[in-house]
Amino acid sequence: MMEFIKTINDAVNGFVWGLPMLVLLIGTGIMMTVRTGFFQLTHFRHWMKNTIGAIFRDSHVTAHTGRDDKAISQFQSLCTALAATVGTGNIAGVSAAIVSGGPGAIFWMWLVSFFGMMTNYSENVLGIFYRRKNEKGEWCGGAMYYLKDGLGAKEGMKKVGMVLASAFALFCVIASFGIGNMSQVNTIAANMNNAFGVSNVIVGIILVILSAFVIIGGIKRIARVTELLVPFMAVAYVIGALIVIFKNIGVMPAVLASIFKGAFSMRSAAGGVVGYGVMKALTWGMKRGVFSNEAGLGSSVMVHSASNVKEPVAQGMWGIFEVFADTIIICSLTAFTILSSGLVDLETGTMISTSLSTALVSEAFSTVFGRAGTAFIAIAVFLFAYSTTLGWSEYGTRAFEYLFGTRRVIIFRVIFVCFIMVGATMNLSLAWDLSDTFNGLMAIPNLIGVITCSSTVIAITKNYIDRKIRNKDIEPMYSAFEDIQKMQEMAD
């Protein structure tokens, strides 16, 4: 039975993540980049000032909401989204891209992330614009809502919008148990066992207890944990990677040359047919870029929509920063660490080391830190993977809520926590394969929603630029629902 499931999944996965899907992902990013006037470049200073820069000058960005306010701060929404996106893909995924696609894969990872910034931006703008409050007073948003209320509002598209919204929610619930739970926990257990000899059962019990306390507490408790966990783990990993890179600073010009040369190499490292090297580098770079920052999947928008901000573009800019931090910074540092440590022949792009996945990154860190490097990466994987579990628990919760109602979300949270033990104690190679498939299936309805509602994104962006940058006195575009807008204005 398992073999049959795997065969079917491999066939679906090959179709879902084939070249047409990658073209759709990149194409959507290119379209939104062009239609917004290359917002991520032309307004670079503006979005940096109003995201990471605002943390140090605007207390409203980081201030916790009141006990009775079910929303979370902009910074908390970013940390929760980063908790889900900054995961094992930033370590194992980057190493897999280099092993399978060569150093050139990193170039294509950068490219897909550049355009992915505007896909993520568009998702968040639509998420805020079409969100609504549930019966508990919590903000709910995501692809489900802009498919149902955005696409569905177009002539003759009501049923199509509803079907695609439900399909997205269903795929998200299933994916949350794969990429967001069992696969991450299985990686944690394996690494803790290899590095410290801790049994998988003990790791599973500890994670179930920790997760039950956080996840069952809901979005505000998850946000409080992630806003402490994410900055710490990101800064610690960045510092560790920078130490390795500066230790090998002399080879960095060769590393950069290898990346750009490999991106356009007409042959694979082992010979092969003309153009094969480019295709492998391009495919693996794009896949790892998408899996790492999740731009186009429609996942992180569900957390961004819970923010206390009412300006869609304000949260959209946090989406740009999310992709920038995840891929351009953290994934790049992982790549530079591996390539500068002598584990890859920079001239040919062939692997010198026989290590794979997280073991390759551990070996790179060990060239500078010795045995402590292995322990460091084991702890980093633990934090990255566990934070992903917390973030995806909220994604699954919101999707489950859309399908079955607010009062039943506790059922999902309890089941989600129980599956953590399954992930820790079983061999879950199939779970990883299924994760890839359902991630891809999530992306299809989400990208349809982004494309069909792109004019709304453009109108909201133009409105924001006219008001905030060109100082025009015009009415803001905050919400698709007048009653929600009025409620927000009364609250202010």
**65, 114, 115, 143, 162 from 28: Cα distances, Å:** 35, 12, 8, 15, 22
- Whole-angstrom CA distances from 233 to 204, 228, 274, 324 are 21, 9, 42, 17
Cα distance between residue 451 and residue 456, in whole Å: 10
pLDDT score recorded for residue 64: 57
Q: Give the pLDDT of residue 263.
A: 80
Rounded distance between C-alpha atoms, residue 241 and residue 360, angstroms: 13
Q: Give the per-residue pLDDT at 256.
A: 93
CA angle (84 as vertex; 79, 85 as ends), nearest 5: 95
Interatomic CA distance for residues 294 and 180, integer angstroms: 12
**pLDDT for residue 98:** 86
Three-class SS of the chain: CHHHHHHHHHHHHHHHCCHHHHHHHHHHHHHHHHHCCCHHHHCHHHHHHCCCCHHHCCHHHHCCCCCCCCCECHHHHHHHHHHHHCCHHHCHHHHHHHHHHCCHHHHHHHHHHHHHHHHHHHHHHHHHHHCEECCCCCEECCHHHHHHCCHHHCCCCHHHHHHHHHHHHHHHHHHHHHHHHHHHHHHHHHHHHHHHCCCHHHHHHHHHHHHHHHHCCCHHHHHHHHHHHHHHHHHHHHHHHHHHHHHCHHHHHHHHHHHHHHHCCCCECCECCCCHHHHHHHHHHHHHHHHHHCCCCCCCHHHHCCECCCCHHHHHHHHHHHHHHHHHHHHHHHHHHHHHCCCECCCCCCECCCCCHHHHHHHHHHHHHCHHHHHHHHHHHHHHHHHHHHHHHHHHHHHHHHHHCHHHHHHHHHHHHHHHHHHHHCCCHHHHHHHHHHHHHHHHHHHHHHHHCHHHHHHHHHHHHHHHHCCCCCCCCCCCCHHHHHHHHHHC
Q: Distance of CA 301 to CAs 297, 320, 398, Å? A: 9, 12, 11
pLDDT of residue 488: 45
* Distant-in-sequence, close-in-space partners of 91: CB < 8 Å, separation ≥ 6: 334, 358, 361, 377, 380, 381, 384
Tokens 């509602």 belong to residue: 453
Per-residue pLDDT of the chain (492 residues; tens, 9 = 90+): 556 556 665 655 665 656 677 788 889 999 999 999 999 999 999 999 988 887 776 666 555 555 555 566 666 776 776 666 666 777 877 888 888 788 888 888 898 889 999 999 999 999 999 998 887 788 888 899 999 999 998 988 999 999 999 999 999 998 888 878 888 888 888 878 877 888 888 988 998 998 888 888 877 788 788 878 878 888 889 999 999 999 999 999 999 999 988 887 654 444 444 344 555 666 666 666 666 667 788 888 888 888 888 899 999 998 999 899 888 898 899 999 999 999 998 888 888 888 877 788 889 999 999 888 888 888 888 888 888 888 888 889 999 999 998 888 999 999 999 988 888 887 666 666 666 677 778 889 999 999 999 999 999 999 999 999 999 988 888 887 654 444 444 444
pLDDT of amino acid 53:
82
CB 261: neighbour CB atoms within 10 A? 19
Burial label for 46, CB within 10 Å (0-12, 13-18, 19+), is middle
Structural domain boundaries in the chain: 38-491
> Tokens at residue 343, please?
């584990």
The DSSP bridge partners found for residue 344 are 351
* Residue 250: partners with Cβ closer than 8 Å, 6 or more residues away: none
**Burial class, 375, CB count within 10 angstroms (exposed 0-12 / middle 13-18 / buried 19+):** middle
Residue-level pLDDT at 66: 57
Tell whether domain 38-491 is in CATH 1.20.1740.
Answer: yes
What are the C-alpha distances in Å from 355 to residues 92, 362, 368, 445, 492? 11, 9, 17, 37, 56
Q: What's residue 114's pLDDT?
A: 92
- Angle in degrees, CA 219, 221, 225, rounded to 5: 115
